[in-house]
Amino acid sequence: MKIAIIGAGKAGLCAGKHCLKENISFDIFEQTGNLGGTWFYTDLVGHDENGAPIHTSMYKGLRTNLPKELMTFEDFPYPKQIRSYLLQEEVLDYVRNYSKKFHINPHIKYFKRVIWIERQNFLWSVHYEDVKNKQKEMEHYDAVIICNGHYSDPFIPDIPGIESFSGKVKHSHDYRTPEPYANKKVLILGSGPSGLEISQQISNVATKVFISHRSKDALPVSDALYQKCLVKEFVENRAIFEDGTSEEIDDVVFCTGYNYNFPFLSKRCGVKITNNYVHPLYKQIISIENPTLAFIGIPFKACPCPLFDIQVRFVLASLTGHFKLPKKDVMLKELVEEEKRKPGPPSSQYHQLGGAQGSYFDNLAETAKIRKIPPVIQKLYLRVISNRNLNDCFKIIDDHNWVQIYCSGTGCK
């Protein structure tokens, strides 16, 4: 068996590592010259020197929104002495070391952008382009694991008047540093981890920052940072809010999330995106129409490393025959029942795990009879999402227990 893995971010590297462990032959296609996916920082926005779209959404000074204890692959811990909430470069180092330790690098085809995947004669044809010399090639594989990342294609809500707004408008995908916002009045839309951190960064240099969000919780504010409700419309350079108030704004940053996007999948692959919901997939991983096609990392509000690890092991267990997938109609029936359990028509919210992450992990392990993710991951995750403080430090004691530990700011004891 030979597998094509699309993307050399954490998910693709994790897939490569498990293929090596199972003695499965594979190639990892990576469109850039770097591994680490979104953890690789570049000043560039738009397109790179080869004309390829910039994939990463990383900005300078990013602090992780999860502690390192939840951002670890099971068999590859971070150095013990460092703080729990890390900087971008510390995570990138970790990913590079992971690739080195498990000898994944020789399997990565750099600067190869996958442009088309189709199913032909019981095989997958993977068409790819060398982004430097634009030469196109094709190879056949028995299975495809898609690890192309889901934070690259910006979602911008349609707000009346935005097209004639006179200031600069960008999405957080293209935000790199706060300096361009010095002495300006800036509106940030969205209060997810990026919205919060970017508004804090910009408030250090701007005259005023307004953070507009739907959350009922009060957010941390400072002298230059003000909370607003949702924007109803823009009129020239004014933002009109749903409560009737308005503010004059110089620039706008949308921190409004991303779309799932698989531009290289032919229709005949049998996977659709409707209302940002990817379907029909078994357990949010395996294509029900073509079970040798799999997607890693679609669920969000989760701990990516443990998620990738168990999803990859689930896929490989199925591909190697360690467990047999149910028949197509049984998988479809389970999916329809799952869809019905969630309110409203299926949307990207279907892919949100949050508190349900632990039972999702357990269900995958029980279904495929594979090793479980230790319960301590979900226990600590619930603590972190209910009370996030980037100065907290944690230590995992065993599969069930964690403790909070003293942190001096530079290191933990």
The residue from 3, 4, 5, 8 that contacts ligand FAD (CB under 6 A) is 8
Min dist. Cβ of residue 106 to ligand FAD (A): 17
Q: Does 306 bind ligand FAD (CB under 6 A)?
A: no
Choose the stretch contacting ligand FAD; rule: CB under 6 A; options: 51-59, 136-144, 235-243, 265-273: 51-59
Residues 254 to 293 in contact with ligand FAD, rule: CB under 6 A: 264
3-state secondary structure of 137: strand
Task: Choose the binding region for ligand FAD from 8-16, 135-143, 203-211, 235-243 (rule: CB under 6 A).
Answer: 8-16
Q: Per CB under 6 A, does 12 bind ligand FAD?
A: yes
The binder of ligand FAD chosen from 4, 104, 143, 147 (CB under 6 A): 147
CB of 40 to ligand FAD, least distance (A): 7
**Minimum distance of ligand FAD from residue 66's CB (angstroms):** 4
Smallest distance from the beta carbon of 258 to ligand FAD, in angstroms? Answer: 8
H runs (alpha helix) in 320-349: 328-341
Under a CB-based contact definition with an 8 Å cutoff, are residues 368 and 291 in contact? no
For 270-300, give one letter per residue: b (16+ CB within 10 A) or e: ebeeeebbbbbbbbbbbbbbbbbbbbbbbbb
Q: Calculate the alpha carbon distances from 269 to 3, 68, 115, 361 in Å.
A: 16, 36, 14, 26
Name which position in 4, 5, 6, 285 contacts ligand FAD (CB under 6 A): 6
Return d(Cα 286, Cα 271) in angstroms, integer. Answer: 10
Nearest to 271 by CA among 250, 304, 306, 295: 295
- How many C-beta atoms lie closer than 10 Å to residue 6's C-beta? 29
Q: Which two tokens stand for residue 211?
A: 């953070």
Q: Is 198 a binder of ligand FAD (CB under 6 A)?
A: no
Based on the shown chain and the rule CB under 6 A, indicate whether residue 38 belongs to the binding site for ligand FAD: yes
47 class by beta-carbon count within 10 Å (0-12 exposed, 13-18 middle, 19+ buried): exposed
Least separation in angstroms between residue 401's CB and ligand FAD is 21
State the minimum distance, in angstroms, from the CB of residue 340 to ligand FAD.
Answer: 28
Q: How far is the CB of 122 from ligand FAD (least distance, A)?
A: 23
CB of 296 to ligand FAD, least distance (A): 7
Judged by CB under 6 A, the residue of 4, 24, 71, 298 near ligand FAD is 71
145 vs 239, beta carbon nearer ligand FAD: 145
**298 touches ligand FAD (CB under 6 A):** no
Among 4, 104, 114, 307, binds ligand FAD (CB under 6 A): 114
Enter the DSSP assignment of 254.
E
Using left for φ > 0, alpha for ψ between -120 and 50, and beta otherwise, residue 131 falls in: alpha
Question: Of 256, 339, 264, 5, which Cα lies nearest the Cα of 114?
Answer: 264
Q: Are 240 and 232 in contact (CB under 8 A)?
A: yes
Of the pair 29, 234, the CB lying nearest ligand FAD is at: 29
Q: Which of 107, 113, 119, 208 binds ligand FAD (CB under 6 A)?
A: 113
Q: What gap in Å lies between CA 398 and CA 277, rounded to an integer? A: 36
- The residue ranges that bind ligand FAD (CB under 6 A) are 6-12, 29-32, 37-39, 55, 57-58, 62, 64-66, 71, 113-114, 147-149, 151, 194, 264, 297, 304
